[in-house]
Amino acid sequence: MPRNALLLFAIITSLAAGALLPGLFARLTAPPSEPQTASGPPSASADAVRLIRLTPEQIAAAKIETAKVGPGALGRRIVVPATIKPDPDHLARVAAKVSGVVAQMRKRLGAEVAQHETIAVIDSREVADAKSEFLAATVNYDLQTQLFQREKRLFERGITAEVLFLKAKATYTEAKLRSDLARQKLAALDLSTAEIASLSGTSIEGLREKDIRAPIAGRVIERLVNIGQPVTAESQIYVLADLSVVEADLAVPLASLASIRKGQMVALSTPDGHRVEGQVTIVSAIVTPETRTGHVVASFKNPDFALNPGALVNADIALAKAPVEVLIPRIAIQTIHNEPTVFVKVAGGFEQRIVETGDGDDAFVEIVKGLKAGETICVLNSFLLKAEAGKNEIPEE
C-alpha cells in the first residue's frame, strides 16, 4: 500500500510541473520592453541638431559672411602638353643680301641686339663696284650740273647758240639718270640713306665692306656662318627672336577640340613654378595622325623671359562655360558625416542642410538638390558653423 501511494504522488507531481513549464518558457523568451523616455519624438531631436542658433552680434563677431544663391556659369578646364616656340611675327632671319666673304661676326649666340645695330660685316666686290659706280656717277653729275647752268646763263643772254645749250642739257639729264640709277642699286644692296650720303668720305678699304644690321630688337638664337666663310645674297647668317612674345603649340585631344575657340584663356605652368597667362590665337583644322590630337596655338607675353623656346610645359585651357541653375562657392560646403553640407540662413541662426553636388571647377560647384535659388547661405567661415554643429550633437549629461 505505501508503494502504491508513492507512485501515485510521483505521477501527480509530474503533471503539475508539465502544466507550469510552458508559461515559464514563454516569459523567458519574450523580448524586453523598450524603456520610455521623457524626450519628444526623434524628428524633434534631429531638428534641434540641424538648427544652429546665433544672434546677429555673434555672426558679425565670427566674421561669417552670407550670400544669396542663384544661377551662374560653370567653367570647364583641361590640361594638355605644350611646346614653347618663338612667335613668327617676332622672328627675323638675317640674310647677307650680297655675295662676298664674312669679315666680322659681332654677336655671339644668345646675345641681345638692338634694332638697326650692326651685327656683321661682309667683304663684297659687288658692293665695292656699286659704291665706286655711284661715286663716279655723282662726280660726273655735279660736273654736268655746273656746265648746264653755265650754258643756260649764256643762252639766256644770247651769247651761245641754242644747239650748245640743248647738248649741255642732254648731257646733264643723262648724268642725273646715271646718278639716280647708281643710288637705287646701292639701296637694293640694303645700304641706308645715311650710308649712301657718307660714301664720299669712305676709304678705299671701306668700299668693300657691307654692314649687316639687325631688322628687329631681340636675341640671337642661331648663328649660321663663321668668319671667312663665303656667302651669297640668299645666305642666312643669323636668326633673331624677340622673346618678349612667344607661342605655344598645344596638343588638344579630339574629344575636347570642338570646345576650343579663338580667344579662350590659357595658363602655362613651368617646371620652376612660373604661371603665365595667354590666349588661343589659332585653332587648326588639321589633326596629327600619329597622336590623334588637334593643333592649337596660343600666344603669351614673356616680359621676364620665363618661357624658353623648346621647353615642354603643361597648358591649362579654360573651355566654354555652361550655365547652371544653382551655383555656390566651393568653400561654402562642409563635409559632415561624409555628406556635403551647407548652412542656410534662417530666423535665429543657420540651418544645417545636406545637398547633392554636380559639376564644379576650382572655385564653384553646382548644387543639384537641397538648395533653391534665392536662399541665403554662409559663404565664408562656414567651418565655424561646422564646429558649432558638432557641439550640438554631443548629448548632455
Q: Where are the domains of the chain?
A: 47-74+323-392, 127-213, 245-321
The tens digit of pLDDT for each residue in 173-192 reads 999 999 999 999 999 888 88
**What's the per-residue H, E or C state across the chain?**
CHHHHHHHHHHHHHHHHHHHHHHHHHHHHCCCCCCCCCCCCHHHHHHHHHEEECCHHHHHHCCCEEEECEEEEECCEEEEEEEEEECHHHEEEEECCCCEEEEEECCCCCCEECCCCEEEEEECHHHHHHHHHHHHHHHHHHHHHHHHHHHHHHHHCCCCCHHHHHHHHHHHHHHHHHHHHHHHHHHHCCCCHHHHHCHHHCCCHHHHEEEEECCCCEEEEEECCCCCCEECCCCEEEEEECCCEEEEEEEEEHHHHCCCCCCCEEEEECCCCCEEEEEEEEEEEEEECCCCEEEEEEEEECCCCCCCCCCEEEEEEECCCEEEEEEEEHHHCEEECCEEEEEEEECCEEEEEECEEEEECCCEEEEEECCCCCCEEEEECHHHHHHHHHHHCCCCC
Phi-psi region of 100 (alpha: psi -120 to 50; beta: other; left: phi over 0): left
Question: At residue 320, what is the residue type?
Answer: A
Which pLDDT band holds residue 319 (cuts at 50, 70, 90)? Answer: confident
The residue ranking higher by pLDDT, 84 or 35, is 84
Mean pLDDT of the chain: 83
Give the three cell numbers for residue 89. Answer: 611675327
Least reliable range by pLDDT among 32-46, 56-70, 313-327? 32-46
Bridge partners for 369 per DSSP: 356
Please report where in the chains the cell 651769247 appears, as a residue. 159
At 137, the pLDDT band (50, 70, 90 cuts) reads: very high
Q: Which CATH architecture has domain 47-74+323-392?
A: Beta Barrel (2.40)
Predicted TM-score of the model (pTM): 0.58
Q: Determine the average pLDDT of the residues in 6-26.
A: 45
Give pLDDT tens digits for 87-100: 999 999 999 999 99
Contact 119, 219 (CB under 8 A): no
**Model confidence at 389: pLDDT above 70:** yes
Average pLDDT, integer, range 260-264: 87
Q: Which is more confidently placed, 327 or 21?
A: 327
**Percent of the chain topping pLDDT 90:** 46
Do 382 and 344 form a contact (C-beta atoms < 8 A)? no
* Of 358 and 225, the one with more pLDDT: 225
Q: What are phi and psi of 335, to 5 degrees?
A: -100, 115
Rounded Cα distance, 90 and 259, in Å? 29
Highest mean pLDDT among 27-31, 241-245, 306-310, 315-319: 241-245
Cα 33 to the center of its chain, rounded Å: 70
Q: What pLDDT is recorded for position 173?
A: 94
> Residue 387's Cα: distance from chain center in Å?
40
Q: Which three cell numbers stand for residue 19?
A: 502544466
As given in the structure block, the three cell numbers for residue 302 are 614673356
Instruction: State yes or no: pLDDT of 2 exceeds 60.
Output: no
Name, in order, each residue with C-beta under 8 angstroms of 381's C-beta and a sequence gap of 6 or more: 62, 63, 64, 65
Task: Name the CA dihedral angle for 247, 249, 255, 257, rounded to a multiple of 10 degrees.
Answer: 40
Question: Given this chain, do its domains 47-74+323-392 and 245-321 carry the same CATH topology?
Answer: no
Pick the CATH number of 245-321 from 2.60.130.10, 1.10.1370.30, 3.10.450.50, 2.40.30.170: 2.40.30.170
Is residue 341 over pLDDT 80? Answer: yes
Q: With beta carbons less than 8 A apart as the criterion, state whether 280 and 218 touch.
A: no
